[in-house]
């Protein structure tokens, strides 16, 4: 990506500065801004695509939780003085998106969730994997994708470094436990914004039935499955993902998507 990372106080983010409405993209627990390269290229001409770093690894320990991430996102939105915006979240980023929409419904134009946590997720569990066990981390990282080849060595190395850093590893576990505590089943009927659900048919972390449950519990929602795809459709099947999301945004918001 050719975009320059911006650092303003405690906020780190990418922004295309496009002419349209803001489109905020949120990464997952082990994700990062690079997860959305294909979405930047696809949506940049019609939206102002904004990708903030969720400070999972840098929040003070007393604030490490989904609530802490939602508070950080709200501080960022206020800092940017954004009008009502479209939000898309993958995995933990979807969970944060829903909690934010529940807390600030007037700020949300639409919601897109992909492999979102919040109802059920099967990830690394409540303890860190054996330290220095590279093969274990490699297999866990590859399980994010239907095609293990999508999981590059650079991605595996990044996850391996994270779980073997004691401070980062502690924050990963605390955040994962917070996600389990924040089950959304009894709150999803409060979501009123148009909601798009894009799920991989072969997702083993938040399996297809989780997408079906979100669809059942969110009244104004639409569910799409992508085949030969697992937990990160925007990375593994970007053409299909972007086509679904682009068409849906155009249909529900009147935005022009080329």
Domain positions in the chain: 6-253
**Cα separation values, 217 from 86, 119, 188, 190, Å:** 20, 11, 6, 9
Is-contact 83 60, C-beta < 8 A? Answer: no
- Output the pLDDT for position 128: 55
- Output the pLDDT for position 130: 60
DSSP string, 124-158: S-SSPPPTT-HHHHHHHHHTTSSSGGGS-HHHHHH
Residues of the chain short of pLDDT 50, as ranges, are 1, 124-127, 255-258
User: Which of 3.40.50.2300, 3.40.50.1820, 2.130.10.10, 3.30.465.10 would CATH assign to domain 6-253?
Assistant: 3.40.50.1820
Contacts of 3 (CB under 8 A, 6+ apart): 14, 15, 16, 40
* pTM metric for this prediction: 0.91
Longest dimension (CA), the chain: 50
- Output the pLDDT for position 123: 58
- Output the pLDDT for position 76: 98
- Tokens, residue 190: 């409060």
The whole-angstrom separation of Cα 100 and Cα 150 is 30
């Amino acid at each position: 990506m050719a975009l320059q990372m911006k650092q303003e106080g405690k906020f780190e983010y990418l922004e295309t500065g496009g002419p349209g409405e803001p489109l905020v993209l949120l990464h997952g627990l082990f994700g990062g801004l690079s997860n959305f390269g294909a979405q930047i290229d696809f949506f940049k001409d019609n939206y102002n695509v904004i990708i903030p770093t969720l400070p999972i690894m840098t929040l003070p320990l007393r604030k490490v939780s989904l609530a802490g991430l939602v508070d950080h996102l709200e501080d960022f939105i206020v800092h940017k003085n954004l009008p009502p915006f479209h939000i898309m979240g993958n995995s933990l980023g979807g969970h944060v998106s829903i909690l934010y929409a529940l807390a600030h419904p007037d700020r949300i134009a639409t919601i897109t969730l992909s492999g979102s946590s919040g109802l059920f997720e099967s990830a690394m569990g409540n303890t860190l994997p054996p330290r220095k066990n590279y093969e274990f981390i490699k297999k866990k990282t590859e399980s994010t994708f239907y095609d293990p080849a999508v999981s590059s060595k650079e991605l595996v190395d990044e996850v391996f470094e994270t779980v073997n850093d004691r401070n980062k590893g502690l924050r990963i576990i605390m955040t994962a436990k917070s996600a389990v505590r924040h089950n959304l089943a009894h709150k999803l009927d409060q979501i009123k914004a148009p909601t798009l659900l894009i799920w991989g048919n072969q997702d083993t972390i938040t399996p297809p039935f989780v997408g079906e449950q979100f669809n059942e519990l969110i009244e104004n929602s639409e569910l799409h499955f992508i085949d030969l795809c697992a937990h990160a459709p925007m990375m593994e099947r970007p053409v299909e993902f972007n086509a679904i999301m682009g068409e849906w945004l155009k249909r529900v918001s009147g935005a022009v998507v080329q």
